[in-house]
Amino acid sequence: MDDANTAEAIGLSPDRLERAYALLGDAVAQGQIPGAALLVARRGVALAPHDFGRLRPEADEGDGPIQPDTIFLVASVTKPVTVAGLMLLVERGQLALDDPVCDHIPEFAGNGKEGVRIRHLMTHTSGLPDMLPEDRSLRAQHAPLDEFARRVCALGLDFEPGTRIQYQSMGILMLAQIAQRITGLRFPAFLRQEVFNPLGMADTFLGVDTATANPTILSRIAHVHVPDEMRDVDWGWNTPYWWGMGAPWGGMFSTVSDIWRFLQLFLDQGRSGDHQHLAPATVAEMIRDQTSAMPGISRAEARAQAYGLGWRRWPFHSAYFGDLLSPASFGHGGATGTVVWADPARELVCALFTTEPSAQSARLLGLCSTLVAAAAI
């Protein structure tokens, strides 16, 4: 494929796009990030992914390079995928956005949580915390997800639902628990059946069991350059425990090509090929700014950050979305050093996965996002 000609054909400047590729290449060469893959698409056409660096941060001569089909742990990019799964149940009349959570999980009631609605879980307005206070000790014990959920049900709230925005991975966990109770399927199997397979996302998994997975799949997974607190532990991002856990808030593995298929779904009114996978009304509701319209949210907080259902909305409150996206844009980032976004005004999609945690790579992700947005002509 001649990327330069393909870029021109879909309205992208090859020279400006090359700046984004060069930025990532230089970052790898200078040791700022161990590895990365970038896919850019416009008008429904994806350019060939560009890949940089090696599969493992501690690479030696026996380690392989990042490839176009390398699988990354995408962290919180998992969240809008989880919400999309729940929205299929909304479309089917099995769930309503304003259902109380305790209608579906009775043990969730108590400690002031009776007013938490499904919509609150999807918009980070529930009052639940991001992580449990005992998160690290539970991981050290290799606790299953059901134990995390049990402890969420015992929590009180940090504020009345719908009155503040507070990022809450534990709210996303409860969405997965609800889907399991409605469908009778474990959530990874539900996403495989209802999202990944229909969209042709063959290299996307909510969790990977290292004991049973195809060795070829395992060999294609990039390892994250873990922070100090995850070194020499058996519960960090690169361990069998975390890989197999399938956390619905941050345990998905995917390629840049697969995640492009998911993002493109929202620019194509829910269609994927000949299949109407999501209703246009569902797409519109997911990417609409939900939080700014909530009467309990202060105007100052609404101006600082905004959420759709599962998606971060403009104005983004994270550095790694860059400076040039249009107000209709939506996306998400992940702590492992990932960012994805779509700009409907420009029909532009960016999927950037790295193996350097966002705490260190956020500025680089933002600069690359800006360069990609600037390439649209």
Please state, in angstroms and as integers, the Cα–Cα distance from residue 64 to each residue in 57, 219, 258, 352, following that order: 11, 9, 21, 20
Q: What are phi and psi of 264, to 5 degrees?
A: -65, -30
Name the strand (E) or helix (H) holding 331.
strand 330-334
Name the strand (E) or helix (H) holding 38.
strand 35-42
pTM above 0.95, yes or no: yes
Residue 349 near residue 263, CB atoms below 8 Å? yes
Q: What are phi and psi of 6, to 5 degrees?
A: -65, -40
Distance separating alpha carbons of residues 147 and 362, to the nearest angstrom: 32
For residue 352, list its beta bridge partners.
38, 339
**Read out DSSP for 96-152?**
-TTSBHHHH-GGG-STTGGG-BHHHHHHT-SS--SS-TTHHHHHHTT--HHHHHHHH
Position 1 scores a pLDDT of 43
**Nearest alpha carbon to residue 259 among 318, 187, 204:** 204
Position 61 scores a pLDDT of 53
Question: Would you give per-residue pLDDT tens digits along the chain (377 residues)?
Answer: 445 458 999 999 999 999 999 999 999 999 999 999 999 999 999 999 999 999 998 765 557 999 999 999 999 999 999 999 999 999 999 999 999 999 999 999 999 999 999 999 999 999 999 999 999 999 999 999 999 999 999 999 999 999 999 999 999 999 999 999 999 999 999 999 999 999 999 999 999 999 999 999 999 999 999 998 899 999 999 999 999 999 999 999 999 999 999 999 999 999 999 999 999 999 999 999 999 999 999 999 988 899 999 999 988 878 899 999 999 999 999 999 999 999 999 999 999 999 999 999 999 999 999 999 999 99
Which residue ranges form the domains of the chain, and what is each CATH number?
Answer: 3-77+191-275+310-374 (3.40.710.10), 80-186 (1.20.58)
